[in-house]
Amino acid sequence: MALKLITAPERMPVTLEEAKAHLEVEHNDRDDAIQTMIAAATAFCEGPDGVLQLALNPQTWEWSLDCFPSCRWWEVPLKKLIAVDSIKYTDVAGDEQTIDAENYTVDTASIPGRIVFISGFVAPTTLLGGANVVRVRFQAGYPEDQPDSGIDEPPTSTVPSPIKIAIMMMVGDMFDNRETVSADALAKIPSAATVDLLLRPFKPFILA
């Protein structure tokens, strides 16, 4: 199984303006650095390798498998599922085929989201010995609210406030420790206990 990012989110869940307000920074001298810190804190939280294992702002992923799963419903391995764009597979002749959407329903209410095949669906035969022969293209994240006014404004993020506050707190940690910060250095900075408490309800439940 593999997950590949196809289309990155257009925006970060925390805006530059929100982060600067949290940091009480009024000048523009550190804008690039603050944006990098927002990206680092966001990456720490989201994606298949993030601590929350979910998508924040809407994005498109491809989930690849070596065969059709044997059960009638599949759990999509990245929360929060918005939609399934397509299910494709490589047939025995090596050609790409698409499963008709009438053969399955998409359950976005469950967490994680699910693809549920209709009763009687028979999985087609795929290329023998092939890798990544089944490919699910899907959208995940918290949907954005479109502005109602006629003013040309960007959509508003619906990422839960506890996650946004945790990201801003991590940005604050990085801003106060700039000498050691790079895009991949977040794990080296101890996060406050409050950050862990804010993120805990959204973390995957793992049986001991």
Please spell the DSSP secondary structure of 8-42, one letter per residue: --SS-SS-HHHHHHHHT--SSTTHHHHHHHHHHHH
Residue 21 within any structural domain of the chain: yes
One domain for residues 166 and 102: no
* Structural domain count of the chain: 2
Range of the domain at 26: 13-54+147-202
- With beta carbons less than 8 A apart as the criterion, state whether 7 and 60 touch: yes
Environment class of 78 (CB within 10 Å of its CB; exposed 0-12, middle 13-18, buried 19+): buried
DSSP line for 103-133: GEEEE-SSSS-EEEEPTT--PPPB-TT-SS-
What per-residue confidence (pLDDT) applies to 3? Answer: 95
Tell me which of 101, 125, 140 is where a domain ends. 140
Please write the tens of the pLDDT for every residue from 59-105.
999 999 999 988 889 999 999 999 999 999 999 999 999 999 999 99
Residue 39 within any structural domain of the chain: yes
What per-residue confidence (pLDDT) applies to 122? Answer: 92
What per-residue confidence (pLDDT) applies to 189? Answer: 53
Residue 111 to residue 66: CA distance in whole angstroms: 24
Residue 1 within any structural domain of the chain: no
One domain for residues 102 and 134: yes
DSSP-derived secondary structure letter, 91: B
The stretches in the chain having pLDDT less than 50 are: 207-208
Residue 8 within any structural domain of the chain: no
Residue 64 to residue 132: CA distance in whole angstroms: 5
Q: Tokens 């993030």 — which residue?
A: 50
What per-residue confidence (pLDDT) applies to 180? Answer: 58
Q: CB under 8 Å to 127, separation ≥6 — which residues?
A: 90, 91, 92, 93, 94, 133
β-pair partners for 75: 114
Q: SS3 for 151?
A: coil
What per-residue confidence (pLDDT) applies to 191? Answer: 61
One domain for residues 99 and 165: no
What per-residue confidence (pLDDT) applies to 128? Answer: 85
What per-residue confidence (pLDDT) applies to 34? Answer: 95
One domain for residues 36 and 73: no
What per-residue confidence (pLDDT) applies to 149? Answer: 61
Tell me which of 140, 157, 182 is where a domain ends. 140
